[in-house]
Amino acid sequence: MNTKRILQPLLTIAAASLVFTTTAFTADEVQNHQLDGIKKVSFYISKSNVTLIGSDRTDLELTLEKPLTGFDPDKITQTTSQQGDTLVIKIEYDKEPSSWFSWGDGVKGYKEATLLVPSSLLAEIRTSGGNVSAEAMSASLSLKTSGGNITAADISAPLDIKTSGGNIRLKQIKGDTNAHTSGGNISVEGLVGKVDLHTSGGNMDISGEISALTAHTSGGHINADIKSALIEPLELKTSGGNVNAILFAGMKAPASLSTSGGSVSISLPRDQAFQIYAKSNGGDVSLNHGGSFQGSLDKKKIEGDVNGGGPLVKMTTNGGRVNIKEI
């Protein structure tokens, strides 16, 4: 492992196949890392925004943007090492604790870190407090922040996302996706694959060619537009909002939609065969689907088969309406 204080005229580290250089005396610091024998990068930085961009380059270029004021290089420590086939870069900011007699020393770490990497490089990105964004990657990707928004676009690989307090926005993701936030909205557009989404307090808007979907929120609405046939279970659940799902190509697996305080609706093709169980403790239940129905139906509960029966659609609410519709 190599450890350095950032403000040095020029530093070159050679360890195994790892080469690390720093150029100083510029507004932004630029480092270039050779990737011979490297298949993955693990990057961590304290309280900074991070941007990851995939490209056709063969090395890793790291640009560190300083704030306009308050930057103290003596409080920045960077360690760089190669662990097997993983390049590990860790940048920490040693901030002095505040006291009763101080409003803070006004000293800051880096404002933003930008990594330009080969699109096929496996990547794990973490920050202790900032926004994270990634684009144009074709290898498995992990993005985590302790307090900020996360965005990802044009990713052709499995994606794992976690933020302790921010929104998540995903666009054109081709790969199984896990995205969790402790307090924010989740927006998903153009996803292909299995999807698992959780938020402790926000709305969810989801669309794509999704084969399986789990979406839970403790306080918000869920809207899901699924373009391809559902081949694995669908579960949409909220403790305080409406739930709406449109399955344009139908379903071959069961679906469960529930809310503790809102309305629930699902839209299916006319020729879809399914079993229905729908119940509301606080509103009407209605069947507005043109398929043939056999079973029991009243204002509070519907139970039976549509078009001869098939995968189970279960819909429940304690405080709203339930509606089964035809596309």
For the chain, what's the residue count? 327
Q: What are phi and psi of 98, to 5 degrees?
A: -75, 160
Q: What is the dihedral of CA 81, 84, 85, 86, to 10 degrees?
A: -40
CA-CA distance, 57 to 224, in Å (whole number)? 37
CA-CA distance, 248 to 313, in Å (whole number)? 15
Q: What contacts 102, CB < 8 A, 6 or more positions away?
A: none
pLDDT at 319: 85
Provide the whole-model pTM.
0.88
pLDDT in tens, the chain (327 residues): 555 444 443 333 334 444 444 443 446 899 999 999 999 999 999 989 999 999 999 999 999 999 888 888 889 999 999 999 999 999 998 865 554 444 445 557 899 999 999 999 999 999 999 999 999 999 999 999 999 999 999 999 999 999 998 999 999 999 999 999 998 999 999 999 999 999 998 999 999 999 999 999 998 999 999 999 999 999 999 998 999 999 999 999 999 999 998 999 999 999 999 999 999 998 999 999 999 999 999 999 999 999 999 999 999 999 899 999 999
pLDDT at 282: 85
Residue pair 220/200 in contact (Cβ under 8 Å)? The answer is no
Residue pair 311/325 in contact (Cβ under 8 Å)? The answer is no
CA distances from residue 21 to 30, 201, 221, 264, 280 in whole angstroms, order as listed: 8, 43, 49, 57, 64
3-state secondary structure at position 74: helix
CA distances from residue 77 to 1, 68, 72, 73, 146 in whole angstroms, order as listed: 13, 20, 11, 8, 20
| Bridge partners (DSSP) listed for residue 278 | 302, 315
pLDDT at 68: 86
CA-CA distance, 209 to 192, in Å (whole number)? 5
